[in-house]
Structure 1
Amino acid sequence: MTTLTRSDRAALEHLRAHSSLPVLSRIAVQVAWCVLLWSQRRKSRRDLSQLDDHMLNDIGLSPRQAEQEYNKWFWRP
């Protein structure tokens, strides 16, 4: 899956906030936003699962905290 750039995310957020779009377009933007968010969570959690204890310590997480985070389902914040 392709990762969106910062400007792509900004454009999607702009569309998401735009109330002048037709209903089906707003729904499509909401679905795209949700898929993007879930994809980012999945990738972040997968990356977190690959960090060693030293790297986790650098970001202020214990191995247990990291394990709790990367074991979450992608739809959970």
Structure 2
Amino acid sequence: MSNALHTAQLMNLTARKDLPMVAGLAVKFAVVVTQWDTRRKTRRALKDLEPHLLHDIGLDRLSAQAEAAKPFWQD
């Protein structure tokens, strides 16, 4: 399963109103940590992409380096 699927499932849980307060906070924490992990992994992969692959996704080297340099907690 991909992280995107996990994130989607966790986001559905955060929308539930019937969860106990502690469970709701734990789910929200899990969503944030999952988002951070996904950003870290994708930014690490982005900095190693070949120029022709960057072109395929509509980025130049400078833009990819700027995105890869962001900390995981920054959107």
Which ranges in structure 2 are unaligned for 5 or more consecutive residues? none
Q: Which residue of 2 aligns with 1:16?
A: 14
Q: TM-score, normalised by structure 2?
A: 0.88
The aligned residue for residue 64 of structure 2 is 66
Task: Specify the alignment match of 1:57 in structure 2.
Answer: 55
Segments of 5+ residues of structure 1 without an aligned counterpart are none
The letter for the 1-side match of 2:44 is R
Structure 1 residues 34 and 5: alpha-carbon distance in aligned structure 2, compared to 1, 3 A threshold: closer
Match of 1:25 among 23, 26, 48: 23
TM-score by length of 1: 0.86
Greater RCO (Cα-Cα under 8 Å, separation 6 or more):
2
Letter in 1 for 2:66: Q
Identity %: 39
Q: Give the number of equivalent residue pairs.
A: 75
